[in-house]
Amino acid sequence: MKKAVCYTDIHYPVGNVDDKMFSSFTEHLGRCIYSGIYEPGHPLADEDGFRTDVMDLVKELKVPVIRYPGGNFVSCYDWHDGIGPKENRPKRMEYAWTSIETNEFGIDEFCRWARKVGVEPMIAVNLGTGSIKDAGDLVEYCNHPGGTYWSDLRIKNGSKEPYNIKYWCLGNEMEGAWQAGHLSAEDYAKKALEAAKIMKWVDPSISLIACGSSYDMLPSYLEWDRVMLKSLYDQVDYLSTHNYTLNPGQGVSNYLASWKQMDEHIKNSVKVLDYVQAQGKKKKEIKICLDEWNVWNFQDIKLDSLADLNGMTTFEITSAGKWEIAPPILQEKYSLLDAVVLGGLGISLLNNCDHVEIACLAQLINVIAPITTVKGGGSFRQATFYPFELLSRYGRGKAIRPAMETETFQSIYGEANLVQTAVIYDEKADEVHVFAINCDEKEDVELALQLQGFGDRKLVKHLAVYGDNLEEINTIEEPDRIVTREIDVTDAGKAVLPKASFNVLILK
């Protein structure tokens, strides 16, 4: 059997994993909100029309923060449409996903739902087609206690107490021509700066997240961040970037090596942050908010080439027609292989926790999501639910730097470890959690654990996402084909990682 060793010493930490590391994202897109979160009349809906089965699944994932209302949607959205009596709310053409938005669900419903599921909202403002005044008014509506037009309107609409929303995104993916109201880096910097000023005047306690760049196929990749950060560095708290992982279709091992691409993506953002910080002699350090990440294989999006994203000219969604209400779009069916890959991406998040403070799995329900619902029917956990749940449950604490002795292989992302790990010391539970991906699609690998400075530790539990058929998916009829499985521990210091698997090893 192939062998690997993970050496780790408690004296070499990466940093503390912020509690917001395994957050998520919900957008007015497809069936994420309508018949996902909200389905009045559903047998399991509560008095607000919120599906309680979905709330229970969200609680299982223990996500601390949820970003809302978009995504590309936000750049076309007027938040005023979603407040007040539902019968007065307008139906609008929603340009980003060519759907009809009924506005039955808006900021008040979202904050109410978030409170019920015990998560903190992170709100994106529209800096595409929206104005800086709209952004300031939304902060006033949400966070001002009362005695002003917008705060009194919130009270009239049923929320006496302010929502005190701390995290605010200054737009979404403003670098891309597919964004309604797309701006150049210079124009975005000007608009975002003015919005930031107003928003902080209304509530100085808020934290602001600036749009960085996300797509390396755009010529503006990273240059956008440099230009934007030169103006905004002192005003903002986080740099946003997005990273979607696509099966490159060049073999299973290449796909399993995607954790390497995620690692590089994060490090690229760090490089530009470091440059602007050093060049401007700034003391302040800006953290990364990776507010959209996931595996996304574009199962129903037809792109002739990635260049089509520049204007969405031939961008076609094959799963629904145009201008439908909550159409079933972007409902990816995740395989076991996708789940293992997602676990690997989580390993890279943990190994970069000194820079990434917030990361949002995009998205949460029905749309490229770990949770799927049937309209009027049941719900189930997609394969990707399981690695994300493991990361969220065991990925909290202090990340310790691992040094791997392992075979490597040539991947399209460069030379990659066959076994890659992240190590967490959970001080509260006094446990060590070793996350490991085995990128060998054909063979199991034995992983030995060499821990220094943790005291006497024994491997007590081995949880893994693996199986014989990497193409397997969960369905509403057979929801448990892929679950987290427990593997018997036979040795206190080593474990056998099944071929193409994502693992958590718990040491006490």
Closer residue to ligand AHR in complex, CB, 172/503:
172
The sign of the dihedral angle between the CA atoms of 227, 228, 231, 235 is: negative
CB of 439 to ligand AHR, least distance (A): 26
Q: Which residues of 97-131 are buried (b: 16+ CB within 10 A; e: fewer)?
A: bbbebbbbbbbbbbbebbeebebbbbbbbbbbebb
CB of 127 to ligand AHR, least distance (A): 13
**What is the 3 state secondary structure string of 380-395?**
EECCCHHHHHHHHHHC
Closer residue to ligand AHR in complex, CB, 242/287:
242
Beta strands in 143-269 (DSSP E): 167-170, 207-211, 238-245
CB of 214 to ligand AHR, least distance (A): 8
CB of 212 to ligand AHR, least distance (A): 13
Closer residue to ligand AHR in complex, CB, 180/270:
180
Kindly state the tokens that stand for 436. 């490991």
- By the 10 Å C-beta count (0-12 exposed, 13-18 middle, 19+ buried), 347 is classed as buried
Q: Is 71 in the site for ligand AHR (CB under 6 A)?
A: yes
Q: How far apart are CA 143 and CA 78, in angstroms?
A: 18
CB of 469 to ligand AHR, least distance (A): 28
Cβ partners under 8 Å of residue 43, min gap 6: none
- Binding to ligand AHR, residues 24-43 (CB under 6 A): 27
Q: How far apart are CA 461 and CA 506, in angstroms?
A: 5
Kindly state the tokens that stand for 89. 């709310």
Q: Is 104 in the site for ligand AHR (CB under 6 A)?
A: no
Applying CB under 6 A, the span of 6-14, 69-77, 126-134, 453-461 interacting with ligand AHR comes to: 69-77
Contact between 411 and 253 (Cβ < 8 Å): yes
User: Is 175 an annotated catalytic residue?
Assistant: no
Cβ partners under 8 Å of residue 146, min gap 6: 152, 155, 160, 162
Closer residue to ligand AHR in complex, CB, 27/140:
27
CB of 73 to ligand AHR, least distance (A): 6
Closer residue to ligand AHR in complex, CB, 72/253:
72
Contact between 66 and 20 (Cβ < 8 Å): no
Closer residue to ligand AHR in complex, CB, 79/466:
79
Q: Are strands 414-417 and 65-68 parallel, antiparallel or unpaired?
A: unpaired
Q: Is 292 in the site for ligand AHR (CB under 6 A)?
A: yes
Site for ligand AHR (CB under 6 A): which residue of 54, 257, 273, 362?
362
CB of 172 to ligand AHR, least distance (A): 5
- Binding to ligand AHR, residues 147-176 (CB under 6 A): 172-173
Closer residue to ligand AHR in complex, CB, 35/72:
72
Alpha-carbon distances, residue 432 vs 107, 359, 400 (angstroms): 40, 22, 10
CB of 72 to ligand AHR, least distance (A): 4
The site string for ligand AHR over 172-211 (x = CB under 6 A, - otherwise) reads xx--------------------------------------
Residue nearest ligand AHR, Cβ-based: 71
Applying CB under 6 A, the span of 66-74, 78-86, 346-354, 468-476 interacting with ligand AHR comes to: 66-74
Q: Which of 104, 109, 120, 292 is the catalytic position?
A: 292
Q: Which residues of 258-285 are buried (b: 16+ CB within 10 A; e: fewer)?
A: bbbbbbebbebbbebbeebbeeeeeeee
CB of 100 to ligand AHR, least distance (A): 17
Site for ligand AHR (CB under 6 A): which residue of 70, 121, 128, 343?
70
Q: What is the DSSP letter of 82?
A: G
Residues listed for the chain: 508
Applying CB under 6 A, the span of 9-17, 65-73, 136-144, 319-327 interacting with ligand AHR comes to: 65-73
User: Is 431 an annotated catalytic residue?
Assistant: no
Residues in contact with ligand AHR, total (CB under 6 A)? 10
Cβ partners under 8 Å of residue 505, min gap 6: 433, 434, 436, 447, 449, 459, 461, 462, 495
- Binding to ligand AHR, residues 237-256 (CB under 6 A): 242
Q: What is the DSSP letter of 431?
A: E
Closer residue to ligand AHR in complex, CB, 172/420:
172
Kindly state the tokens that stand for 100. 């009809």
Contact between 462 and 505 (Cβ < 8 Å): yes
Alpha-carbon distances, residue 328 vs 30, 43, 332 (angstroms): 5, 20, 10
Closer residue to ligand AHR in complex, CB, 27/440:
27
- Binding to ligand AHR, residues 363-422 (CB under 6 A): 363
Q: Which of 173, 175, 332, 431 is the catalytic position?
A: 173
Catalytic residue positions, numbered: 173, 292
- Where on the chain is the footprint of ligand AHR (CB under 6 A)? 27, 70-72, 172-173, 242, 292, 362-363
